[in-house]
Structure 1
Amino acid sequence: MYAVIQTGGRQLKVEPGAVVSVDHLAVPAGDAVVFDQVLFVADEGGQFASGTPLVAGARVVGVVDGAGQGPKIRVLRKKRRKAMR
């Protein structure tokens, strides 16, 4: 069984027991979080439900493991021939 949810402007495929990294949530570690924006649900038998745009009555519940930081993002600004490097 798996589902496709939308959170933080991204669509994520989630499965039971899987660890998924999402953008900032205002929930402390150990608390449950509910994702109501479910776009697609499928089970092992080949049955599926696709929403237009959301599946009615579907939700995904998870537990927050903790907060972390992603990789450092380096940004370079350059304007050609303008003495700005």
Structure 2
Amino acid sequence: MKYAVVKINGSLFKVKEKDQIEVNRVSWKEGETVSLDDVLLFVDGAKIKIGTPRLKDTKIEAKLVKNYLGEKLYIYKFKAKTGYRRKTGFRAQKSLLSIEKLGN
């Protein structure tokens, strides 16, 4: 089994080929294929490569499928006996990446 651990926007993800992962918004164009250089671990069957801190010769190709807004979260503030109530909402900006190719 072939997989890798890659760092994208400060978060670590375990990825395999043909995986789709949800990450915080990236600044690429939709449909663009990008090479990810921040590979920390690469496993190909019995071969294991561990970076110190990252692997220089291993790259991962990923394609940006779409940018979208995440699920809405509601934040409530409340103070007892004063009638103070506030409600605000928040939607995180997300990107959906498709892993095209693992390895060199």
Task: Check whether TM > 0.5.
Answer: yes
**How far has the Cα of 1:14 moved from its partner?**
0.7
Aligned residues: 84
Q: Check the 8 A contact 2:4/2:42 in 1, yes or no.
A: yes
Unaligned runs of 5+ in 2: 86-104
Tell me the TM-score normalized by structure 2.
Answer: 0.68
How many Å separate the matches in 1 of 2:36 and 2:26?
11
How many Å separate the matches in 1 of 2:78 and 2:38?
39
> Which structure is richer in relative contact order (CA contacts within 8 A, separation 6 or more)?
2
Superposition pairs for residues 22-37 of structure 1, below 5 Å?
A: 22-37=23-38
Tell me the TM-score normalized by structure 1.
Answer: 0.81
**How far has the Cα of 1:61 moved from its partner?**
0.7
Over the aligned positions, Cα root-mean-square deviation in angstroms equals 2.0
Q: Which has the higher strand share?
A: 2
Give the % identical residues.
Answer: 24
Tell whether 2:13 aligns with 1:5.
no
